[in-house]
């Protein structure tokens, strides 16, 4: 049986800061089948293992399965980096901050989603219409 590439890692998981939000609203579809499978596996790994996560503003474990990832750079890099920096600012942390997954999720839920600030971060994302529902 194939071992999942998203089994619990020994080091902190690298995660784009704005993917704290995408993982909250993921409904099983995305940019491609590979993307959706990888996203599901990553979310499962994070929720089951509650590992340490390092927030980044660059390619991460979710970008790994995405057709928009061009040699490690998102083809919408300017936009997604803007999302990442906005999330970092609202969470009051810097790129490279490491914390346990469940703590980061709690912080994102409280400071961004419950605070009604989702649209100011990623209101121009093509998936925004399905988020928060």
Residues near ligand SF4, by CB under 6 A: 16, 62-63, 66, 68-69, 74, 76, 80
Cα radius of gyration rounded to whole Å, the chain: 14
Q: Closer to ligand SF4 by CB, 69 or 98: give it.
A: 69
- Between 63 and 104, name the residue whose CB sits nearer to ligand SF4: 63
Q: How many CB atoms lie within 10 A of CB 68?
A: 14
State both tokens at 69: 């990832």
In the complex, the smallest distance separating the C-beta of residue 1 from ligand SF4, rounded to whole angstroms, is 27
Helix (H, G, I), strand (E, B) or coil at 91: helix
Q: Judged by CB, which is closer to ligand SF4: 60, or 91?
A: 60
Shortest Cβ 93–ligand SF4 spacing (Å)? 19
CB count in 10 Å sphere of residue 17: 29
């Amino acid at each position: 049986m194939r071992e999942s590439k998203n089994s619990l890692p020994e080091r902190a998981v690298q995660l784009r800061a704005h993917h704290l939000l995408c993982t909250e609203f993921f409904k099983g579809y995305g940019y491609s089948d590979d993307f959706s499978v990888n996203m599901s596996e990553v979310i499962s790994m994070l929720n089951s293992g509650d590992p340490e996560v390092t927030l980044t503003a660059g390619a991460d474990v979710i970008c790994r399965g995405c057709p928009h990832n061009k040699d490690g750079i998102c083809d919408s890099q300017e936009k997604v980096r803007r999302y990442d920096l906005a999330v970092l600012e609202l969470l009051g942390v810097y790129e490279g901050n490491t914390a346990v997954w469940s703590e980061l999720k709690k912080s994102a839920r409280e400071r961004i989603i419950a605070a009604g600030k989702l649209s100011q971060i990623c209101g121009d994302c093509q998936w925004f219409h399905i988020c928060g529902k």
